[in-house]
Amino acid sequence: MKVLQDEIRNLEVDKVLDIGTGAGDFIKILKGGFKKFNHIIGVDSSKKALEMGRENIQDDRIEFRYMSGDRLEFDDSEFDVVSVSNSMHHFKDHSKVFEEVKRVLKPDGMVIVNEMFCDNQSKSQLSHVYLHHYMAEIDTIMGIVHRPTYKKQEIIDLLEDEGLKIIRIFEVKDEVFKNVEEEKKEIEALKKLFDKRLKDIEEHERYDEFVGRAKDIREHLDKYGIAGATQLVIIASK
């Protein structure tokens, strides 16, 4: 995410909010980018994810709070920057979240959205996309909100429909694996993940369909390997 860090390198900000922060991985990127910040708050609707975040980052200026993005417990115009990274496709109602984003953002504040997309990906990146869609569908069967990832233009349209003004767009393709051995190890771990997730839906009527799809994705993994899907980073204002 060097391109994003370079974009925010000269900014001195007071308060930053990261919605759907998970284990805080995007906070790490923001922290490495801003020239100066006083306070970053990461919120998430999963207590488990927040625990991981607190373990992951120990910094007096960074706080993790249990809160849903569609009901933020903050005042109007409280934040200089609000970010949403790879969470949009997890929101039950993204319109409500973006209403809240605009409410808590200062009038001249910055919105940063980072979201992986599913189109225009290489064969090895498609392994990531297929795997993600597969897991998202199993989550959906289990009652967890998890959509397939959007197409690039869908993300742009969605943010514009929410009334955000897009300032800049980057495509970021981070190298995930250092070498072939590391990639092979990851592929083996991912293949095992299929069995674990299939157990989650053992009794479901679509179980056999998912067994077949797991086989197809395993074959795709063997043939093309895996690389992280390209992500869209959008800088916007309200």
Ligand X SMILES: C[S@@+](CC[C@H](N)C(=O)[O-])C[C@H]1O[C@@H](n2cnc3c(N)ncnc32)[C@H](O)[C@@H]1O
Q: Examine residue 53 and tell whether it contacts ligand X (CB under 6 A).
A: no
Q: Is 67 left (phi over 0), alpha (psi -120 to 50) or beta?
A: beta
Cβ-closest position to ligand X: 22
Handedness of CA 157, 92, 44, 95 (dihedral sign): positive
Report how far Cα 172 is from the mean position of its chain's Cα atoms.
13
Q: Examine residue 33 and tell whether it contacts ligand X (CB under 6 A).
A: no
Among 238, 236, 215, smallest CA distance to 113 is for 236
The number of C-alpha atoms within 13 Å of 143 and in the hemisphere containing its C-beta is: 0
Residues between 158 and 187 with contacts to ligand X, criterion CB under 6 A: none
Q: Examine residue 122 and tell whether it contacts ligand X (CB under 6 A).
A: no
Q: Of 118 and 209, which CB lies nearer to ligand X in the complex structure? A: 118
**Rounded to a whole number, what is the largest CA-CA distance in the chain?**
54
Q: Examine residue 56 and tell whether it contacts ligand X (CB under 6 A).
A: no
Q: Of 69 and 225, which CB lies nearer to ligand X in the complex structure? A: 69
Q: Examine residue 115 and tell whether it contacts ligand X (CB under 6 A).
A: no
Q: Of 117 and 184, which CB lies nearer to ligand X in the complex structure? A: 117
- CA 36 – CA 148 distance, rounded (Å): 36
Q: Of 12 and 73, which CB lies nearer to ligand X in the complex structure? A: 73
Interface segment toward ligand X; rule CB under 6 A; list 16-24, 154-162, 187-195, 208-216: 16-24
Q: Examine residue 69 and tell whether it contacts ligand X (CB under 6 A).
A: yes
Q: Which residue has the tokens 């990274």?
A: 85
Least CB distance from residue 188 to ligand X, whole Å? 23
Both tokens of residue 71? 């009901």
Q: Examine residue 70 and tell whether it contacts ligand X (CB under 6 A).
A: yes
Among 119, 123, 151, 149, smallest CA distance to 137 is for 149
Both tokens of residue 21? 């922060």
Q: Of 68 and 77, which CB lies nearer to ligand X in the complex structure? A: 68
Least CB distance from residue 219 to ligand X, whole Å? 26
Residues present in the chain in total: 238
Q: Where do contacts with ligand X occur on this chain (CB under 6 A)?
A: 19-22, 25-26, 43-46, 49, 68-70, 85-87, 90-91
